[in-house]
Structure formats: C-alpha cells, structure tokens
Amino acid sequence: MKRTLTIVMLLLGAVLTAYAQHQVTGRVTDRNGEPLIGVGVTVSDSPTPIGTTTDKEGRYSLSVSPESVLQFTSLGYRTVTVPVNNRGGLSI
C-alpha cells in the first residue's frame, strides 16, 4: 500500500510540475515599432537563471510559471519589469 501511495504521489508531482510551466511569447519594439534585436528577457524572480534574447524580428519565447515576472534589458534602453499574470502573449 505504501508503495502504491508513493507512486501516486510521484505521478501527481510530475503532473503539477508540468502544469506549472506556461509558454510566454512576445515581441519587443522601439517607439517607432521597429524590432529590438538582442534584448535580454529573464525571469527576475527565479531562483535559477532562466532567460533568452530577442531574435532579428524582436521576438522571444520562454517557458515560465504563470506568476513569473519578466525583466527586459538592453543597452541604451531602460530596464522594464512586467508580471506575466498568466498571459500567453506579452509584447513590450
């Protein structure tokens, strides 16, 4: 019985961990709507480093928790911090 309970708990934990991930995609542009290339996009409240950079079209994609806070950084621009708030798309 203990073994069955342990297996069920492990499976439940795996499902909850998979559910906790949330795909966020977006685009980073300047005031004129031009894409910003190489902007650092990181999860500011993560205990382990999670991040990416924008591509040549200013697009990025990250798997994060729905409650994460993203930080956008680039030389010559101010740093912007935005909560994901369970959104799938987040453009700056």
Other residues' Cβ atoms within 10 Å of the Cβ of residue 46: 13
Look up tokens 């934990």; give the residue.
13
Q: What is the pTM of this model?
A: 0.75
- Distance in angstroms (rounded) separating the CA atoms of residues 14 and 44: 24
Average pLDDT over residues 22-44: 95
**Domain-by-domain residue ranges, the chain?**
21-92
Classify domain 21-92 by CATH architecture: Sandwich (2.60)
User: What is the tens place of the pLDDT at every residue in 39-52?
Assistant: 999 998 888 889 99
User: What is the tens place of the pLDDT at every residue in 50-84?
Assistant: 999 999 999 999 999 999 999 999 999 999 999 99
